[in-house]
Amino acid sequence: AIKRRGGDGVELPTMIAMADVSERLRLEADLRLALDRGEFELHYQPKFSLAGGTPELIGSEALLRWNHPERGLIPPAAFISVAEETGLIVPIGDWVLREALAAVKRWNAAADDAGPRPSVAVNLSFKQFDRPDFFEFVRDTLQEAKVDARLLELELTESIVMRNADSTVDVLRRLRALGVRLSIDDFGTGYSSLNLLKRLPVQCLKIDRSFMRDVTVSDEDAAIATAILGLAHTLGLEVVAEGVETEAQLLFLRARNCDAVQGYLLGRPMPETTFRSALDEAARRAGPRGADPGPAI
């Protein structure tokens, strides 16, 4: 096995690097206190179905934020990897799941059974799959929150699945049997084989934002996005496109039967109260129930 060095500062001679190390240690120490101090919060980015004439709000993705007492709102990219290295991502991930389920419970408390039921998607770290009781944890947390498993979606990355394919597939099968929805996040950036994709009990692929950016100007990106959509649909999977920022991207996706989208064009990640207003607004626009029966299924 390859032994990695570094992390102790010995190989980092410059003052700048020393500053990075002390900065990192401070981050780590702060991170350890953050959970106890209640400094984490979830923002919710709306997700829209393209099945109908106009995009329809169907749920959200929960995105972690750290409200640091001195530095303000810190995005996950700035602390997730440290949280993973220190193992803190496990208790943080537990908190995220509980919090997201409490939120989805609130959103669905008022909805009647016939109406739309907004779901919540939660991002997972590979570290959470290292715990042997991950399945039981999700099952028990759903039970405690009294949330229908079908309202929860778990987002995995290709690397999580590749890391320990057999045991991960087993855990995913059991989650799936509960009714939890599973998706592969950032699809196209990892190394998952088509063979593995076939074996995975996932329902959805999320096309990575990096392919969306130039999709309307780059032939290569257009070809990749088109191929992912074709592949996914052939395998019976849904596709969500991430990072949709323009009408032109939306048109491109619509023309290729993309199932759902997320992106700044239709909605940024937002605090829960704002997201609930968006849900109320969407319900209002849909009009009184019965006025528009919608397409027959």
Instruction: Give the footprint of Mg ion on this chain (CB under 5 A).
Output: 123, 155, 185-186, 242
| Residue among 34, 63, 197, 228 that touches ligand C2E (CB under 6 A) | 63
CA distance 231 to 90: 33
Among Mg ion, ligand C2E, none, residue 196 binds (CB under 5-8 Å by kind): none
CB of 294 to Mg ion, least distance (A): 29
Residue 171 in contact with ligand C2E, rule: CB under 6 A:
no
Indicate the residue among 21 and 265 with the shorter CB distance to ligand C2E.
Answer: 265
Hey, what are 16's tokens? 């700048």
Q: Measured on CA atoms in the order 181, 186, 190, 192, is the torsion positive or negative?
A: positive
- From residue 199 to residue 238, the character string flagging contacts with ligand C2E as x (rule: CB under 6 A) and all else as - is ----------x-----------------------------
DSSP 30: H
Cα 3 off chain centre by = 32
DSSP string, 223-288: HHHHHHHHHHHHTT-EEEE----SHHHHHHHHHTT--EE-BTTTB--B-HHHHHHHHHHHHHHH-S
| Residue among 30, 31, 44, 45 that touches ligand C2E (CB under 6 A) | 45
Residue 96 in contact with ligand C2E, rule: CB under 6 A:
yes
CA distance 116 to 54: 15
Among ligand C2E, Mg ion, none, residue 99 binds (CB under 5-8 Å by kind): none
- From residue 175 to residue 194, the character string flagging contacts with ligand C2E as x (rule: CB under 6 A) and all else as - is ----------xx--------
CA distance 205 to 188: 9
CB of 15 to ligand C2E, least distance (A): 30
